Amino acid sequence: MPFLGQDWRSPGWRWVKTEDGWKRCEPFSHALEDGNNQLTDISHTVIITGDEEDEEIYSTEDCEFAAKKRKKDHFRNNTDSQCFYREKWIYVHKESTRERHGYCTLGEAFNRLDFSSAIQDIRRFNYVVKLLQLIAKSQLTSLSGAAQKNYFNILDKIVRKVMEDQYNPRLIKDLLQDLSSTLCILIRGVGKSVLVGNINIWICRLETILLWQQQLKNLQMNKQVNNGLTLSDLPLHMLNNILYRFSDGWDIITLGQVTPTLYMLSEDRQLWKKLCQYHFAEKQFCRHLIPSEKGHIDWKLMYFALQKYYPIKEQYGDTLHFCRHCSILFWKDTGHPCTASDPNTCLMPVSPQHFIDLFKF
């Protein structure tokens, strides 16, 4: 008999009873699905072979076989179709059950959550870059061959985006530096460490990373030609308000190099004090007090000193979310087929480090 309620194993999908058990229907496209329905609704089809007297009658099974072949040919010829993972969420399970065999891996999640599209969203860009950086530091050997290929394809798109838009090159430089350092260690220790793939492939990838680093080093910022209102034309209180919105000390220093006025505002002691208080607890910066020549606390030096000992708070425009009711990881905008009565109460934002921890066994 059919399922009468929502299927908790994969909510939102349609299931069909076959001789081998229940199987999930995967609608490839509306056009193909409608064409398949037309074929299956016809019990017999008449095919004209040339002579009116010679007719071949095909049964329903033959029609189903033709429909399947039509779908296969369509996907071979249609490059715009998404052949894999149409949903942008993944069920996180850490053990085998009767319904699910095996467990969810980091590489599988990395492939399923569509990070290629996420990097085009400015709210998610920093989140994806930070996640790639954490994987480069400690989890690179945990990726399967397909996940490794996806990882470097996304990295290639990120580098091209930075080269075209000049968006946050410092963040990408840090990522490539960590990745190149990890690859150098892994390549030198071949045989001692688990490195999936041919060693020559990894050497080529390392050479590509070094080329990217050189390109970013030679990156020249495009000068904006604008005859209208510029940043320098804003009043001082608005410029100061902008500086107080930054959560990264390096961004404040970079902005201070634009004009002498911004440099003066970026050296404000109160600005760096607020930044230290935001990122670190009072007990932490009390242990590392750095007085200036005048006897005051040098909050700017304090910030960079504390950064070496303690992690700073991370801010992202958008993050992945985890549903505690469904155990599903997903982007909040795309949503997921939740079966809870009030889905919003079950959501939990997932930081990049938490994402890595979800798949540690």
Please report, in tens digits, the pLDDT of each residue of the chain (361 residues total). 444 455 455 455 666 777 777 777 665 444 444 444 444 443 333 333 344 444 444 445 555 555 555 555 554 544 343 334 467 788 887 666 665 555 677 878 877 888 888 888 888 899 999 999 999 988 888 888 888 888 999 999 999 999 888 888 888 999 999 999 988 888 876 655 567 777 888 889 999 999 999 999 888 776 665 667 777 788 899 999 999 988 888 889 988 988 889 999 999 989 999 998 888 888 887 777 766 666 678 888 888 888 888 888 888 888 999 998 888 888 888 888 888 888 888 899 998 988 888 877 5
Q: Structural domain tally of the chain?
A: 3
207, 245: one domain: no
In a domain, 17, yes or no: no
Question: Does the CA dihedral 79-83-84-86 come out positive or negative?
Answer: positive
In a domain, 117, yes or no: yes
In a domain, 7, yes or no: no
For residue 335, the 8-state DSSP code is: -
Residue for token pair 């990890």: 182
CATH of the domain at 262: 1.20.1280.50
In a domain, 22, yes or no: no
| Listed residues 218, 247, 265: the one ending a domain | 218
Using alpha carbons, select from 190, 186, 183 the residue that is nearest to residue 155: 183
In a domain, 92, yes or no: no
pTM beyond cutoff 0.75: no
192, 242: one domain: no
291, 332: one domain: no
Q: Are 302 and 290 in contact (CB under 8 A)?
A: yes
212, 140: one domain: yes
139, 243: one domain: no
Q: Are 325 and 339 in contact (CB under 8 A)?
A: yes
Q: What radius of gyration, in Å, describes the C-alpha atoms of the chain?
A: 28
172, 112: one domain: yes
107, 160: one domain: yes
Q: Which domain covers residue 263, as residue numbers?
A: 231-309
In a domain, 29, yes or no: no
Neighbours of 205 (CB within 10 A): 19
Query: Residue 123: CB partners within 8 Å, gap ≥ 6?
Result: 316, 317, 318
- CA 74 to each of CA 35, 66, 67, 232, 308: distance values in angstroms, whole numbers, following the listed order: 12, 12, 10, 57, 55
Q: Are 59 and 45 in contact (CB under 8 A)?
A: no
113, 172: one domain: yes
188, 125: one domain: yes
